[in-house]
Structure 1
Amino acid sequence: NPDHKTPGVKDLVYLEPSPGFCEKNPRLGIPGTHGRACNDTSIGVDGCDLMCCGRGYRTETMFVVERCN
């Protein structure tokens, strides 16, 4: 997909079809992606577009107040 980031030198690239990662598959040790946090602005493997597998996702805005020295 041209909209996704090109794999980097540390990314694992399969030359043959790999098992689906979206749904849980205990037999293969695949935890699935349901309930995982994703990055709404990322085009990489942590991005919601890839990680949510077309299921859609909810966004949450968090405001963090920290003390600075």
Structure 2
Amino acid sequence: RLPNFRVVGDNLKDRFDGASRVMVSNAGSLRGTGGKRGKYNFQLKPYNPEHKPPGAKDLVYLEPSPMFCERNPKLGIQGT
């Protein structure tokens, strides 16, 4: 049985509100060393060094979203 739609939406909203900005780092690569860190050959580091690294289930982003309410012809945003 699927959870209630409202419950799913509330959980996604909580994760969205707590999302962390990150940077991709390939420092300390484990390729060929037999180490297991995941199937990708990079790590996500917090954009703000005072924040803790994201967990496997944390929602992260690489750059802030543009302001879609403000007109920006360079990005093709008409504004609202």
**TM-score, with normalisation over the residues of structure 1?**
0.25
Structure having the higher strand fraction is 2
**TM-score, with normalisation over the residues of structure 2?**
0.22
Q: Which of the pair has more CA radius of gyration? A: 2
Structure having the higher helix fraction is 2
Larger RCO (alpha carbons 8 Å, 6+ apart): 2
